[in-house]
Each structure stands twice: as structure tokens, then as C-alpha cells.
């Protein structure tokens, strides 16, 4: 008998129609939605994979108030900051430049919101899709600038290669956060909130930890919890240099902020180090002002010390490193 003819594998149909606009995310082995006929992982999935793998260590570097950007992103529940757009950044169709306000978080986790009056709220505590938080936030801001009044900006995967906040904001403008006790700043009239927004506002207010910004030093935030209070201080000093200085102060018993206070460790967030102190429940933000200013002077003097660490200081440093927590 003759051999049976081998069955020919069906050929994959090649589409010549390209999809315009944003390409949806599909399985790696599925056909790419763009219509190229190639698998997603070999087509637009390659670009998406590169965007996800991109990781900017200090996304807010170069912006005024970098340490406060980090604090509002990771530590502060409710705060706002007026932002100034750079010259030439597109405003409304009439040429008017809308007011833009950075907010720690927005209702329903919206990336941004264009209010009825045309003003914009930009949410900071949103999920990063590209590995560059600055690019993600800039993408949301550009969408808000183009949105109709009264429209929230939906979450989406950031287009690779887009502009960053450093391209959209005036880098000479001040960055002055205002910390709030609740999230009523979401709405022009919080008393009129209804439906999902009202429910989201109620949940957010119930979960907010009391937080206050110190006035005498930069980027230090007091917060109160049921068991003890804390001071969390975002610092721009390079991490290795800062840890050496904190170790020297700890070994010399000069790292506290007064009786019953203790430097307990630090966070690592967006390329910056955030020392954390435990405070007694009776110690308010106002009580922290003087000891924090005195600590800042001690730290500045210690940072100038370039001698090798002693054995005791090395042990103190190792203890600080072991208790360091990375937030991102």
C-alpha cells in the first residue's frame, strides 16, 4: 500500500487589517489584536513587556519637593498640592490653562478627574503600569487636559515613550503640600456627594490615619495610631551615607527625639530613605518640632564625618539595615 499523504497543517491566516488606537493585552501565544498575524509576544507584547520591565529608581528626581512627592505617594493619606504647568503645555481648546491640583488619592482610585469647572485633580497613589511612575502620572495628566469637564480619567496602560512629569510641570514652581484630615477636597461641595463617590468618601475618611506635616524641617510627617505615634522623615541624602550617619548617631545615643522616643528603622521608597521614629502617644506633631530641628543639626554635622565606622557603629548600622523595609 502506498503511504498516506501527510496531513498538511492548516496555515495561520494572515490579516492585513491593522487595528488603530490602543492595542488590548492578550495571551502571549494569541494572535496580536493589531492584525499582523504574529503572536502577541512577538508583536505588540514585546513593546508592552519592555514597558513593564522599565524601572525608574527615582521617578520624582528633578521635580521640586522630591521628598514630599515620595511622602505623599507612600505615607500620607490625604493631602493636596497646587501644580504649575510648564510653558507651552496644552490647556483647554480656548487656550486657557486649567488649574491642576495633585491629590494623594481620588475617589474610586481614578488616575485623574476633570471637574465641571475645568480644573483638574491628579491622583498620586495610583497603580504604575510602566515602571516609571512619573510617566504614568504624566499620561493621566495629559488625558485629563484633553477630557471634557465633569469626566474622570480611566486607568489604562501607559503608552511607552510618552512625556514625564518633568516635561509637563514648571520645575521652578514651589511644591507645598497641604495635609487634610479627610477627603472632602475630592468634591467642590462634599455635602452633595451621592452614590459610589459618597460611599468611597465615607470609606476613605474612616480609614485615614491622622497625619501632620512638620513646619521646621523638610518632608517630615507625624502620624498617630492607636498604640503609638510615629515620625516618618523622607530624606534625599544618598542611602549609604545616611545609614552611616544614623549608625554613628545611634551608637552615640544621639538618634532619638527625646525621652521615650526611638529610631526604629527606615523605609526605602522611590530611591529615597525614610527614617522612622516611635513616639509616645502623648507626643504631638507640635512637640516634635524642636527635637526634629535639633536632630537635623546633629545629622548635618555627622554627615560631614568621613572616618571609618567603629565596630560599635558597624553593629548599629547592620541593625538598621536588617530592619529596613522597601515599600516599592
When divided into structural domains, the chain yields a total of 2
For position 192, what pLDDT does the model report?
Answer: 63
Whether residue 47 lies inside any domain: the answer is no
Average pLDDT over residues 161-176: 95
Collapsing DSSP to helix, strand or coil, 246 comes out as: helix
Q: How sure is the predictor about 8, in pLDDT bands with cuts at 50, 70 and 90?
A: very low
Interhelix angle 239-251/285-303, nearest 10 degrees: 100
C-alpha–C-alpha distance, residues 261 and 290, integer Å: 14
Is the pTM of the predicted complex or chain greater than 0.85?
A: no
Contact, 202 vs 107, CB < 8 A? no
Listed in sequence order, the residues at least 6 apart from 68 whose beta carbon sits closer than 8 Å to its beta carbon are 81, 175, 177, 218, 219, 234
How many CB atoms are located within 10 Å of the residue 51 CB? 19
If asked whether residues 231 and 190 sit together in one domain, one would say no
Residue 12: pLDDT over 50: no
Whether residue 4 lies inside any domain: the answer is no
Whether residue 120 lies inside any domain: the answer is yes
If asked whether residues 76 and 197 sit together in one domain, one would say yes
Whether residue 51 lies inside any domain: the answer is no
Q: How sure is the predictor about 88, in pLDDT bands with cuts at 50, 70 and 90?
A: confident
If asked whether residues 200 and 296 sit together in one domain, one would say no
At 229-240, the pLDDT tens digits run 999 999 999 999
If asked whether residues 77 and 197 sit together in one domain, one would say yes
For position 23, what pLDDT does the model report?
Answer: 66
Whether residue 1 lies inside any domain: the answer is no
At 34-79, the pLDDT tens digits run 888 887 667 876 655 554 456 899 999 999 999 999 999 999 999 9
Average pLDDT over residues 209-213: 97
Domain carrying residue 302: 211-326
Q: What is the DSSP string of 304-319?
A: T--SPPPHHHHHHHHH
Residue 10: pLDDT over 70: no
C-alpha–C-alpha distance, residues 150 and 220, integer Å: 35
Amino acid at each position: 500500500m502506498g503511504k498516506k499523504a501527510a496531513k498538511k497543517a492548516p496555515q495561520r491566516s494572515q490579516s492585513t487589517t491593522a487595528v488603530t488606537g490602543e492595542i488590548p493585552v492578550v495571551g502571549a501565544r494569541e494572535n496580536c489584536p493589531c492584525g499582523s498575524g504574529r503572536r502577541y509576544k512577538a508583536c505588540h507584547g514585546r513593546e508592552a513587556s519592555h514597558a513593564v520591565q522599565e524601572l525608574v529608581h527615582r521617578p520624582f528626581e528633578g521635580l521640586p519637593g522630591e521628598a514630599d512627592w515620595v511622602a505623599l505617594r507612600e505615607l500620607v493619606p490625604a493631602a493636596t498640592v497646587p501644580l504649575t504647568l510648564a510653558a507651552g503645555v496644552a490647556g483647554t481648546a480656548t487656550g486657557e490653562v486649567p488649574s491642576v491640583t495633585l491629590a494623594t488619592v481620588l475617589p474610586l482610585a481614578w488616575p485623574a478627574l476633570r471637574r465641571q469647572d475645568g480644573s483638574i485633580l491628579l491622583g498620586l497613589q495610583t497603580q504604575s503600569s510602566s515602571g516609571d511612575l512619573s510617566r504614568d502620572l504624566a499620561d493621566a495628566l495629559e488625558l485629563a487636559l484633553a477630557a471634557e469637564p465633569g469626566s474622570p480619567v480611566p486607568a489604562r496602560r501607559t503608552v511607552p515613550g510618552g512625556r514625564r512629569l518633568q516635561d509637563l510641570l514648571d520645575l521652578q514652581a514651589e511644591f507645598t503640600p497641604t495635609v487634610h484630615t479627610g477627603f472632602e477636597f475630592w468634591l467642590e461641595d462634599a455635602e452633595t456627594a451621592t452614590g459610589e463617590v459618597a460611599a468611597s468618601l465615607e470609606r476613605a475618611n474612616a480609614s485615614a490615619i491622622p497625619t501632620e506635616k512638620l513646619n521646621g524641617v523638610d518632608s517630615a510627617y507625624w502620624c498617630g495610631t492607636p498604640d503609638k505615634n510615629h515620625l516618618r522623615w523622607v530624606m534625599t541624602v544618598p542611602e549609604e551615607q545616611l545609614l552611616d550617619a544614623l549608625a554613628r548617631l545611634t551608637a552615640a545615643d544621639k538618634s532619638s527625639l527625646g525621652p521615650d522616643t526611638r529610631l526604629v528603622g527606615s523605609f526605602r521608597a522611590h530611591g529615597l530613605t525614610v527614617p522612622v521614629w516611635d513616639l509616645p502617644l502623648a507626643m504631638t506633631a507640635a512637640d516634635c518640632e524642636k527635637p526634629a530641628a535639633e536632630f537635623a543639626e546633629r545629622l548635618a554635622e555627622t554627615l560631614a564625618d568621613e572616618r571609618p565606622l567603629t565596630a560599635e557603629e558597624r553593629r548599629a548600622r547592620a541593625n538598621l539595615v536588617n530592619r529596613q523595609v522597601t515599600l516599592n
